[in-house]
Structure 1
């Protein structure tokens, strides 16, 4: 006998599965900014029904990840550069304090978990697995919020950080990032001094450097029309170069 409510719970689970699959595809540029999304193609790609896909697109439209153009179709939204900058500012402002609070609450178990995540990042770097490195970096930051007792703050940031995440992944795909520098910040956390008498001020802070807001050039061939807007310095005369900020969170 099927327990009461099981069918409804299964439908809800499949709806979440459909939504998360499409959302993940957008974050990791499987469905790139500006791509047209066909319901039938998504159904075939994900092995899901049309109703589930349509409901997912409605939710993603509410989150501004897709947009519908009348008499044309549904498209993946381009990255909103102003949203990227705002979220980067929020994360840099918060994570300096989060790192302090997390270090102050470290115990043997949480320290071991951070070491494990650091090792995963190092393995991904050595294997030149950009997706694994990206995911391990996100998990490391999430763990800091968890240790600090601020998981709700992380959930809020994750919700508003979608354009930042998309931008970071595109940078991972198109640039040679200094992964050693990123891992070096993580090592500063796991090498926290634990001797008796160290107060909260002794714990390391991950302060953003001044260079994190400099501008870099990205060829349009690498990022063709993916941004909602482009910033160009007055001295830029070439038409095939767009400019976007370098963020501490790449």
Structure 2
């Protein structure tokens, strides 16, 4: 596959998930070409794929728009992760290596720095990398990659959560610390409890996020 196409796809998707382009905003192919400093062909091919994945919507006679967040899809994505991730973590406990521990500890230190420096893009990326490392430890990276392809609406919600003033980033990082400590202790019962609470946080915070950014969500909103 063309390297420029891959780069265009990755960068456009990243900018949408991180709200560099806002939900509902009208965009053009030339907008992306200018922002990415790339040619027409890779950008056009990337946009075709991104439209299939539901991040942009091409409306005949009207233009191209960044889609709004579909909460039904996002909550279904959370449900799938809640079903899959506890088993991934159990396998990770049995297979985790010293290098995985080094990577995870370094990640947590970087999360603290990102909180101190108020770097939301970086903090979200580190949150992603923290969970991904357990899939690596469990030798289930393909499952992680599959989840990312199908959890874009969930990831948009999670990233938007970092923009809500009353929802502290420390809540997430503190839960990450407890999860890693419990993995070290190989306390699988406590780990399952902590992980389910962590993944359930979206449901607890859903109302606060939607109230703050209601225009970013599709109608009708659900209360799953």
TM-score (norm 1): 0.78
Q: Equivalent residue for 1:216?
A: 207
* 1:36–1:74 contact (8 Å) kept in structure 2: yes
Find out whether 1:14 has 2:21 as its counterpart.
Answer: no
Q: Equivalent residue for 1:229?
A: 219
* 2:77–2:150 contact (8 Å) kept in structure 1: yes
Q: Equivalent residue for 2:93?
A: 103
Describe the SS at the equivalent of 2:82.
helix
Q: Deviations over 1:207-243 (max 9, x none)?
A: 42376534524576x42521112438xxxxxxxxxxx
Find out whether 1:123 has 2:110 as its counterpart.
Answer: no
Larger relative helix fraction: 2
Describe the SS at the equivalent of 1:33.
coil
Counterparts of 1:224 and 1:181, CA distance in 2: 23
Q: Deviations over 1:49-77 (max 9, x none)?
A: 12222221111111121111111111111
Find out whether 1:68 has 2:58 as its counterpart.
Answer: yes
How far 1:193 sits from its partner (Å)? 7.0
Which residues of 2 match residues 42-61 of structure 1 at below 5 A? Answer: 42-61=32-51
**Alpha carbons of structure 1 residues 96 and 48: separation in structure 2 relative to 1, 3 Å:** same
Find out whether 1:28 has 2:18 as its counterpart.
Answer: yes
Describe the SS at the equivalent of 1:173.
coil
Which structure has the bigger radius of gyration? 1
How far 1:163 sits from its partner (Å)? 0.6
What are structure 1's unaligned runs of at least 5 residues?
1-8, 233-243, 246-250
What are structure 2's unaligned runs of at least 5 residues?
none
- Structure number with the bigger relative contact order (C-alpha 8 A, sep ≥ 6) is 2
Counterparts of 1:51 and 1:212, CA distance in 2: 38
Counterparts of 1:15 and 1:192, CA distance in 2: 41
Count residues with an aligned counterpart. Answer: 220
Counterparts of 2:214 and 2:157, CA distance in 1: 13
TM-score (norm 2): 0.87
Q: Equivalent residue for 1:80?
A: 70
How far 1:40 sits from its partner (Å)? 1.8
Find out whether 1:93 has 2:50 as its counterpart.
Answer: no
1:204 equivalent among 175, 188, 191: 191
